Structure 1
Amino acid sequence: MPQFLYPLLLLACPIGMGLMMWFMTRGGLHASRRGNSIDSPVVHSELHELRKEVAELRAAQKDTRETL
């Protein structure tokens, strides 16, 4: 194998990983432009439901600790 191919083989993985990260980041930016923003009403309602569920679980955990 020619000597100039060895450095290319060593750099293939880091360069490939960098390109994949760049493409994934660009894809994430486009997804947020499609309406999946954090300010949407769906996100707010889901966040409210999750906070309510966390409060219920904490209350149940507190009750369990008090009975022990």
Structure 2
Amino acid sequence: MPQYLYPLLLLACPIGMGLMMWFMTRGGLHASRRGTSIGSPAAHSELNELRKEVAEFRAPQKDTRGSL
């Protein structure tokens, strides 16, 4: 194997990881530009629904803790 390929093989993993991280952060920015940001009304309504579900799941736990 030619000697110039060894450094390329050693750098392949870090460079690949850096590229993946860069692409993933760019993908996150595009999602916020499409209207799914935290400040959108749809996000607020979904967050309220999820809070209601969590409260429903926690309600039985509070009842059982109080009886101990």
- What TM-score results when the alignment is normalised by the length of structure 2? 0.82
Partner AA of 1:16 in structure 2: G
Identity score, percent? 85
The residue that corresponds to 1:56 in the other structure is 56
The residue that corresponds to 2:8 in the other structure is: 8
Name the aligned partner's letter for residue 4 of structure 2. Answer: F
How far is 1:50 from its partner?
1.4
Count residues with an aligned counterpart: 68
* Structure 2, unaligned runs of 5 or more: none
| C-alpha separation in 2, matches of 1:46 and 1:31 | 16
Q: Which runs of 5+ in 1 are unaligned?
A: none
For residues 7-41 of structure 1, what are the alpha-carbon distances to aligned partners after superposition, in whole Å with 9 as ceiling and x for unaligned? 11011111011111111211211221111111111
Q: TM-score, normalised by structure 1?
A: 0.82
> 1:19-38 counterparts in 2 under 5 A?
19-38=19-38
2: CA distance between counterparts of 1:13 and 1:23? 15
Alignment root-mean-square deviation, CA: 1.5
Question: Secondary structure at 1:36's aligned position in 2?
Answer: coil
Cα distance in 1 between the residues matched to 2:43 and 2:31: 15
1:46 maps to 2:46: yes
Runs of 4+ in structure 1 over 6 Å off: none
